[in-house]
Structure 1
Amino acid sequence: MLKTQTYIKKNIVIAFAVTMFFSCNNSLSNVQKIGISDNEPIGVEYNSNLKYTDSGKLKANLVSTKLFDYSNRDFPFHEFKDGATLYVYDDQSRKSTIVADYAYVYADTDLIDMRSNVVITTHDNQVLKTEQLYYDQSKDWLYTNKPVSFKTEKDLINGNGFDSNSKFTNAEVLEVTGIITLEED
């Protein structure tokens, strides 16, 4: 009888342990999420300085006073509510500067979305103003479909969109309006 009771107690303890083991497999991730709302960032970084390189060469540098980290989302991103400055470098390490009041960096797509009072000053002092600009890091490309104002040394070109590589060697204002100087041969 004592042997049977020991056997029953042993089986109960084993059954209880197995049940506890299988019921707790996600508890660590659930505990980590306690106190974090789905709409809140998982972290805030101050004075951030993100550098993007290709083959050891600096391609872009994003600087901001405050970064909100939403990498816990299904589509992870970083948000810059207090503005951001993006420096884009060409092959000769010449720097063009993009300043915006607001920005997002989408980790999965390598896309930087600059918004509100966006101003680009190229390495040769051309200035483009718009309300939104995308920088595709993987393609090294800048573009927008918002209205733009592009000031060159000679002209002020207005249009509805902009497309360019980061070197600004083939910059194009789309749906052009404004005054453009043409040289005669």
Structure 2
Amino acid sequence: MKIVQHINIICMVTVISVTMFFSCKNNLKDVQKIGISENEPIGVAENINLKYTDSGKIKAILISPKMLDFSNREFSFNEFTEGINLELFDDQNQKSTVIADYAMVYNDTDLMDLQGNVVITTKDNDTLFAEQLFYDQKKEWLFTNKPVTFRTGLDLIHGNGFDSDTKFTNAEVLEINGIITVNE
């Protein structure tokens, strides 16, 4: 009788062990998410001074006091709550600048949302002033439907909207409500 009882215990332990073994999954991502709220950033970076180089040449310098990393979300993004100062360099090492009080970069779509006192100055000294501006990094295209002022040459053009490539070769102010020509 003791032998049968002992065999029953061994069988039960074996069944439980096999069940546990086959029910385990590789849930490393789930384990890593424990204790992390999806509403909170997964990382915070302060005093950023990021230099992007290609073939030994500096192509861009990004300076920002603070960046929040929300790559833990299904639609991931980075948020620059205290603004950005971005310097872009072309192949001739000529600089264009982008300044904004606030920025969000959506990682999946490569769309950048710039807000608050947005100023873009090109190497040719053309300058765009906007409340909000979107930048499609894949298409290298800038656009907005908010009020803008565009300074090109001696002209100051005011309007409600802007559409252009990043070099301003196809720049178009939409719904123009005034052009002022400045004499130097």
TM-score of the pair, normalised by structure 2: 0.83
Instruction: Please list, as runs of the form range in 1=range in 2, the aligned pairs for 1:131-146 lying within 5 A after superposition.
Output: 131-146=131-146
Structure 1 residues 56 and 146: alpha-carbon distance in aligned structure 2, compared to 1, 3 A threshold:
farther
**Counterpart Cα distance in 1 of 2:49 and 2:141:** 21
Identity, in percent, stands at: 63
For 2:93, the equivalent position in structure 1 comes to: 93
| Paired letter, 1:136 | D
Letter in 1 for 2:86: L
Structure 1 36/29 Cα, relative in aligned 2: closer, same or farther at 3 Å? same
RMSD, aligned α-carbons: 2.6
Secondary structure, in 3 states, of the residue corresponding to 1:17? helix
Aligned residues: 181
> What's 2:78 paired with?
78
Distance 2:118 2:105 in 1: 15
Shift of residue 123 of structure 1? 1.2
Q: Once the two structures are superposed, what CA deviation does each residue of 1:112-159 show, in whole Å capped at 9, x if it has no partner?
A: 111111111111222211111111111112111111011223111011
> Which AA in structure 2 matches 1:108?
D
Measure how far apart 1:177 and its partner are: 2.0
Matches within 5 A, 1:1-185: 1-22=1-22, 24-25=24-25, 28-50=28-50, 60-179=60-179
Shift of 1:71: 0.3
Separation in 1, partners of 2:96, 2:111: 18
Give the secondary structure class of the aligned counterpart of 2:169: coil
Amino acid at match of 1:100: A
Aligned partner of residue 14 in structure 2, secondary structure: helix
Q: Give unmatched runs, 5+ long, in structure 2.
A: none
Q: How far off its partner does 1:27 sit?
A: 5.5
Q: CA deviation at 1:62?
A: 3.2
Q: Which amino acid aligns with 2:35?
A: G
Evaluate the alpha carbon distance shift between residue 133 and residue 12 of structure 1 in structure 2; reply closer, same or farther with a 3 A threshold: same
Q: Give the C-alpha shift of residue 94 in structure 1.
A: 2.0
Structure 2 Cα separation of the partners of residues 144 and 55 of structure 1 = 33
Deviation at 1:173, TM superposition (A): 1.1
Give 1:107 deviation, angstroms. Answer: 0.7
**Shift in Å at residue 168 of structure 1?**
1.8
Q: In structure 1, the residue corresponding to 2:170 is in which secondary structure?
A: coil
Relative distance call for 1:147 and 1:167 in structure 2 (3 A) is: same
Amino acid at match of 1:82: E
TM (norm. structure 1) is: 0.83
CA contact (8 A) 1:128 1:149 kept: yes
Counterpart code for 2:43: G
Query: How far does residue 55 in structure 1 lie from its aligned partner after superposition?
Result: 8.4
Residue 31 of structure 1 deviates from its aligned partner by 3.6
Q: Distance in 2 between matches of 1:136 and 1:44?
A: 24
